[in-house]
Amino acid sequence: MGAHLDLRGRTQFSFIVVYAVGYVTNDPAIFIGIRSSVITGIPHRTGHNNSLLSNFILRGKTIGNTLAGFGNNNQIRNSARRIMAIYAIGDLHLSVAADKPMDIFAGWENHTEKLIANWKKKITDQDTIVLAGDISWEMSLGKAIPDFRLIHQLPGQKIILKGNHDYWWTSLSKMRETLEKHELDSIHFLHNNSYYVEGVHICGSRGWIFENGEPYDEKIIRREALRIEASLKSRGSEEGETMLFLHYPPIYAGQTLEPYIKLMQQYGVSRCYYGHIHGKGYKYAVSGLCRGIEMSLISADYLSFDPLLIKK
């Protein structure tokens, strides 16, 4: 038996038959359990049509190849456009191919199936959805392909950012190359860049959080602040609201990541969406107007696995 205890770093772990999983948060009672069954995927669905996109611009530095139709500062328009909606949800915690179900956690029974049903009910190929980290349990890019395929087969363009569990995350060029190879062209990465979608500048990064009384580490906060700022700086001059997506909450359980709040204020961020917080942690999460920014928790369980409409 091995253990997987999330300490936010590159914690080594192994598993043989049964393994424990855990989140370390301010409330250590959150998310501790034993895995034992299998999650199945969804029926194959192909045929995303990028020409349906009405207005989708990638801004910022790109490294290596970009996905077809999504080059640097590339804008795709469709004359027969309709109003496109933007949705958001975090913490999908997918494990299509691996025996890593979430059913052992209260409220997470059949969560993948619930997510798929809710997603298909409201999201079309013309819409965009931001997935705010903790996408897949897999440890490598190659092994995460079934999870990416599931995401790709769902309608809409998906913008993904990194969560603390996304150990498969590697360089932008490598991730893009891999998705391109597998023709998963409805998935895009938010990393030192931004997207302009239907009047909204979509910016973001993983962020940071201090848990279990860890000391305040200037270096790690600064590094992530640079990523947040790179994303905000990459915006074009188009008019529109700026929304910042983080995996970690910028304010949680009495702790505030001041440098991130200051960046949001400096760059005129009107709304901040974040994930990571599950179960008993909800009570410490900040929602509503705070320091001039509308804050919202969008972890999948908090949203009952139903993507949140954020712009129509």
The site string for Fe ion over 74-93 (x = CB under 5 A, - otherwise) reads -----------------x--
* CB of 100 or CB of 276, closer to Fe ion: 276
Q: Do 159 and 202 touch, CB atoms closer than 8 A?
A: yes
Shortest distance in whole angstroms from residue 163 CB to Fe ion? 5
DSSP, collapsed to helix, strand or coil, labels residue 21 as strand
Question: Nearest to residue 89, comparing CAs of 116, 126, 60, 54?
Answer: 116
Q: Long-range CB contacts (< 8 A, 24+ apart) of 180-183?
A: 180/65, 180/67, 180/68, 182/145, 182/148, 182/149
Question: Nearest to residue 155, comparing CAs of 186, 185, 179?
Answer: 186
Question: Nearest to residue 246, comparing CAs of 198, 212, 285?
Answer: 285
* CB of 91 or CB of 127, closer to Fe ion: 91
* CB of 164 or CB of 242, closer to Fe ion: 164
Shortest distance in whole angstroms from residue 70 CB to Fe ion? 26
* CB of 201 or CB of 276, closer to Fe ion: 276
Shortest distance in whole angstroms from residue 237 CB to Fe ion? 34
DSSP conformation class of 216: P
Rounded Cα distance, 181 and 44, in Å: 18
Shortest distance in whole angstroms from residue 112 CB to Fe ion? 14
How do beta strands 128-132 and 241-246 pair?
unpaired
The site string for Fe ion over 132-171 (x = CB under 5 A, - otherwise) reads --x----------------------------xx-------
* CB of 8 or CB of 233, closer to Fe ion: 8
* CB of 27 or CB of 91, closer to Fe ion: 91
78's CB contacts (< 8 A; 6+ apart) are 51, 52, 53, 54
Q: How many residues bind Fe ion (CB under 5 A)?
A: 5
Which residues in the 10-39 window bind Fe ion by CB under 5 A?
none
Q: Do 281 and 92 touch, CB atoms closer than 8 A?
A: no
Shortest distance in whole angstroms from residue 52 CB to Fe ion? 31
Shortest distance in whole angstroms from residue 91 CB to Fe ion? 4
**Per rule CB under 5 A, is residue 301 in the interface with Fe ion?**
no
Which residues in the 250-289 window bind Fe ion by CB under 5 A?
276
The residues binding Fe ion (CB under 5 A) are: 91, 134, 163-164, 276
